[in-house]
Amino acid sequence: MIAALIIMALGVVGTALVIGWFSEGGRIPVLFFLAPVVVVLGVIALINSLRPLKMRIDERGILLQHKATKVALGWQYIANVTVEELPKPKGEKGTATYLTVWPHGGANPGVPQDRMIQRNGWTGYRLIDISDLREDKGRLEAALGRYVAPLRAQQPR
């Protein structure tokens, strides 16, 4: 969101300079004609940064959608799902409680590699920090309990 606001501010300043030079009858550098385009790009980036995170857990699997990123995993590709406290990805300090998927064969469901964890020969992926969800942890665990019960036979712990 901050990057979007910076882009918009630069575009507005550039547009103001274009208008000022144009009204003074001076010669306008061609690059300044891109300033209004930068404003529009900044508005688009701001709108994308304000889009809410959507998560669905149902009989088909887990769908996670945020901005332009979409992760869809059917239950047939998942060996297990856990909600546990894990260290944050590289570059971030501390720990957080994550919804983690453990796919069969360690196949990446479209999650950045820095969110990968390995344990006892299993490869898991931190899908989301549950503090980012509007619903509480209990509701998430209830939804998982309903659809993940058949997967619990294969515990990647």
Number of domains in the chain: 2
Q: Do 62 and 44 have their domain in common?
A: no
If DSSP states are collapsed to H, E and C, what string results for 36-98? HHHHHHHHHHHHHHCCCCEEEEECCEEEEEECCEEEEEEHHHEEEEEEEEEECCCCCCCEEEE
Q: Do 43 and 69 have their domain in common?
A: no
Beta strand pairing status for 69-74 and 78-87? unpaired
Q: Do 32 and 81 have their domain in common?
A: no
Q: Do 42 and 73 have their domain in common?
A: no
Of 91, 90, 94, 82, whose CA–CA distance to 130 is shortest?
Answer: 82
Q: Do 61 and 122 have their domain in common?
A: yes
Q: Do 66 and 131 have their domain in common?
A: yes
Q: Do 16 and 88 have their domain in common?
A: no
Q: Do 38 and 68 have their domain in common?
A: no
Decide which of 30, 49, 68 is a domain's last residue: 49
User: Helix or strand or coil: residue 26?
Assistant: coil
pTM: 0.62
Residue 71 to residue 101: CA distance in whole angstroms: 11
Distance of CA 31 to the CA centre of its chain: 33
157 residues of the chain, pLDDT tens digit each = 677 778 778 788 877 777 776 677 766 666 666 777 778 888 888 877 777 778 888 888 888 887 767 888 888 888 888 888 888 887 788 888 888 888 888 888 777 788 888 888 888 888 888 888 878 888 888 888 888 765 554 445 5
Q: Which residue range forms the structural domain that includes residue 44?
A: 2-49
Decide which of 14, 29, 49 is a domain's last residue: 49
Q: Do 77 and 131 have their domain in common?
A: yes
Q: Do 23 and 58 have their domain in common?
A: no
Q: Do 114 and 90 have their domain in common?
A: yes
Q: Do 12 and 58 have their domain in common?
A: no
Of 85, 78, 141, 144, whose CA–CA distance to 111 is shortest?
Answer: 78
